[in-house]
Amino acid sequence: MRLYVPYTDECEAEEVAKVLSTGYLSQGPKVAEFEQTIARLVGSRYAFATSSCTTALHLSLVALGIAAGDEVLVPDLTFPASANVVIQQKARPVLVDVRLDTYTVDASDLEARVTRKTRAIMPVHAFGLSADMDAVMHIARRQQLIVIEDAACALAARYHQAACGTIGDVGCFSFHPRKCITTGEGGMIVTNNEALAERIGLLRSHGGVRGQAYYQFEAAGFNYRMSDLQAAVGVAQMRKLDWIIARKRQLALELSEMLTGVDGVSPPVEPEGCLHTFQSYVLMLDRALDRDKVIGAMRRRGVETTLGTYALHAQPFFQRTYGYAPGDLPNSYEVFRRSLTLPLHPRMTLDDLLRVVLALRESLEEVA
């Protein structure tokens, strides 16, 4: 059983065929349509499709002026792309511990790591659950810091009625195949800041401004565009989004109920006021259990699982470059070692969930 299978049907093929028939394959009208659809969903004034969420994050940092000597506060528990884009700007990612219950940034540790060099905070909405954005924004306003939301996993997630990605200065989404909707690869930047939007639009496509006959290049920009072929898939996927989110939430609730009597596991939580999209269903194993052995035991039973995500401070590059040692950020390190992602995708049935739970029970008994 696969960890995730994107929900696609003939609608995606039909939209791609329309684009192919036009001969307009690069960034064009279908990208604009996809951008408008995302902007309407989250309630932002501007949306810019990009080639990935990583390029969306990098483009945001460039447009916001993050540069050498700056520090950006990044949750330690995240995919390395969150910190890599900071490093690409020759700035320093300052890693921050997370909460054990939500896997999102710990506000007390966040505030403790602010220095005179700090320019920005990059909260990560982990696995489709919003960070505590009231706390993040309170610190940002008091310290006059930029907020870049890494909402890669959180399209349609909400925090007290606000759409994730629209609370800070800028938000970035991913359309990787493991996300709730996909364009194969792809990302999106959303913002309500007009000046920032103009800068992002300029930098996304080589820094060029179209004149009557040709471009003039006003900046050393990037080729971070999305193709109309990818956007066609995204347009079709967006028609399914409400159903996909509702289905995943229903499955997650049923899975959590099934796990109630399973010793050694703690299912994910949804704090009051948040809407969790369950981009991934990530639980915690008891400390006495070897998570990696559980992954192997599940694989032998035909069920694909994986870790939640990475504690960056425990990765070789961050240890060599910044002097971290495993365990320096203790909560993040625990989640890195103990978290387990179970299969959860819209095509799953009740029988599939029962199979996952049975395999987990047997695997826990095997490795105990």
Catalytic residues: 179
The span from the CA of 20 to the CA of 11, in Å, is: 14
| 276 token code pair | 């969790």
User: How many angstroms separate the CA atoms of 233 and 231, rounded?
Assistant: 5
Query: Which of 45, 27, 26, 25 is CA-nearest to residue 36?
Result: 45
189: left (phi over 0), alpha (psi -120 to 50) or beta: beta
Bridge partners, residue 281, by sequence: 342
The per-residue DSSP string of 94-117 comes to EEE-B-TTT-SB-HHHHHHT--TT
Virtual torsion, Cα 253, 257, 263, 265, nearest 10 deg: 10
Cα gap 88→1, rounded to integer Å: 37
- The distance of Cα 153 from the centroid of its chain, to the nearest Å, equals 3
Give CA–CA dist 20/344, Å, rounded. Answer: 33
Cβ distance 137 to 108 under 8 Å? no
Report which of 155, 182, 202 is spatially closest to residue 40, judged by C-alpha positions: 155
CA–CA separation, 150 and 309 (whole Å): 14
Kindly tell me the burial class for residue 10, based on how many C-beta atoms sit within 10 Å of its own C-beta (0-12, 13-18, 19 or more): exposed
| Residue 26 phi, psi dihedral angles, 5° rounding | -80, -165
Dihedral (C-alpha) 188, 189, 192, 196: value to the nearest 10 degrees? Answer: -140
The encoded tokens of residue 336 equal 């890195």
**Residues recorded for the chain:** 368
